[in-house]
Structure 1
Amino acid sequence: MSDNLKTIKELADELGVSKTAINKKVTDRERKLWFSKIGNKFVINEDGQKSIKRMFEGLIENQESQTENLEQKPNSQTENFRNNNESNADIKYILDIIEYQKEQIKDLQNTKDEQFKQLSNMQNLLDQQQRLSLQDKKLLEEYKSENDRLKVLKMPSQETKEEQANIQPQEELETLKEQTRALNDKIKGQEELNNKSSKKWYQFWK
């Protein structure tokens, strides 16, 4: 074990106290600051060791005097007392570990709940973004469709253009024909007039 880290048992042996005594002294807040788990054992950092030693400075002296008194009792009673104390200490130590693990599980569950809420919020935002994107796409398609419809109404069709192109030369041709007929009629009239004049002179000279 590292010089800076000690198991609860190692520190308890060093102080001459039980593991249960240490667990009783340490609060949940201090446990989170000083304790960590390596493998299946809980270890205490250097700050925790110093603080716990200060907690037991006066208690160690009292325990030493109690130990002297116990040594004056019959050996069988002393042994039973020690066995009972060790058994109770082990049970309390196990219960403390279980309680500590429950706190860790509770903290972990709270963290998971918070992460789940964040994921749920992100999913809701993503759904909203997708709906807005679909709405924008639909509006764009409607706008393009309406724009194409207006273009069709404004622009003449190919057939209309061809009809207009055909009507203009036809009108010009009809005008030219009318002018040609009028000119021919004028020429014809002039020829008739000339013929009549020629006949008159012919009869006059005859």
Structure 2
Amino acid sequence: MKNKFCVLFGLDGVLIDSESQNISIWKYLGDKYGSETAKPEQLVNEKSLHDILTKYFSHLSEKEKHELINDLKAHEANLKIHEAKGVKQFIEGLKKNGIKTGLVTNSSQTKLDNVYKQTDLNNTMDTIVSIENLSKFKSSISGFQLAAKELGFDPKDCFVFENSLSAIETAHLNGMKVIAVNDSSLFKEALFNITVKVIPDFTGISIEELQAL
């Protein structure tokens, strides 16, 4: 397949290590506003903000939801961003080999702006699909499909790095080759038939391995 493919990345838990901070803020928000699940911090990682508010905070008034969103944005604007292990070197290798890259994320623009301030990730991506620009499309196109389209690749010629089970399933259903970024043995079993590889971080994959998959 040589270099006739593109590489798409998720953000949280993939390019950046933010799980512990996400758990902390959603525990705080759940305690402050009350939620319809005992531990919202354990359930929100794979969902968009709209889905979280609908499923776990539907008892709130519109004013209270607005206050919760402002609290969340204030937290996201001040997150300390840590790039995932090996990611910088891996992306540099992709760019040196002329491989197109894209970021696909449900993160808010507030969080993305903070990521861009602390890292060089936005300058290494050939396209960025966020929940804001995806919402402009009334069809059921996924973020992965839109990113592939913008890069000029068929889904079958796209590799996707993700750690969210729902995102992994979506990319797989889109006909893409998925590499899961997760070191849980239980997670590996669940992903056996829908991924081509499972890695703990980006030190567990090389450009040569990617080309051979």
TM-score w.r.t. length of structure 2: 0.19
Larger radius of gyration: 1
Larger relative strand fraction: 2
Larger relative helix fraction: 1
Choose between structure 1 and 2 for higher RCO, CA contacts under 8 A separated by at least 6 residues: 2
